[in-house]
Amino acid sequence: MKILLALLLVILVGCVHARDPQLVAMKQAGDSALTCEQIAAEYKANTELVQSKIAKNRADDNRELLLGILVWPGLIDLKNADGNEANALLDRNIFLRGVAQGKSCVGVETWPGQPERYTLNGYRATL
Indicate the domain borders of the chain.
2-124
Q: How far is CA 14 from CA 3, 11, 21, 60, 71, in A?
A: 16, 5, 21, 18, 10
Cα(18)–Cα(106) distance, integer angstroms: 42
pLDDT tens per residue, range 61-117: 777 777 767 766 666 667 788 889 999 999 999 999 999 999 999 999 999 999 999
Q: How confident is the model at residue 20 (pLDDT cuts 50, 70, 90)?
A: confident
Q: What is the pLDDT of residue 126?
A: 45
pLDDT at residue number 103: 95
